[in-house]
Structure 1
């Protein structure tokens, strides 16, 4: 039983934690995100889409400061499709973002649903 409890605590320690951005860590001119979710292996962002938003349409930047990583997302190109506005989920692996699983993360984009 103690081994099980130790493993569950280890899992919690390595899950990235989304932090609330401090003043100066967000940039309102960046792509607004509808939601952000940190999983055990991935960071998922939800963006407004007219039906053809793809992960390849976005670039990211990671800056480290004050013991955490500040991640910013921006569109590389505008959507050209003309569908009704909806949402698209884009999933990024921590490795491709240059993040580690236990790192504390701040999202620099404005987020409609702040991280919980």
Structure 2
């Protein structure tokens, strides 16, 4: 799968995706060759923006101890990739994927 195919998939989904779709998109993104991410930064950023919007709207509410590691791994991968290749992704955007179940519990209490 390439970035354009992932973007097309994102565009076919509701703006606020269900968690399974967020996780599927994340898994697909993390398999893309870094050179493709660099070459198609605009497409990559639009996918990240769509994921962030979905995740901060309601996706984080579906975090469980069973799936939070996928988001933490994505957060680490995105942070590392952004820093290493200077992709210009906003730190707040990246941080939105670092929430844990415990963080959500604290926010809701």
* Shorter-chain TM-score tier: under 0.3
TM-score w.r.t. length of structure 2: 0.25
More helix by share: 2
Instruction: Give the number of the structure whose residues are more often strand, by fraction.
Output: 1
* TM-score relative to the length of structure 1: 0.24
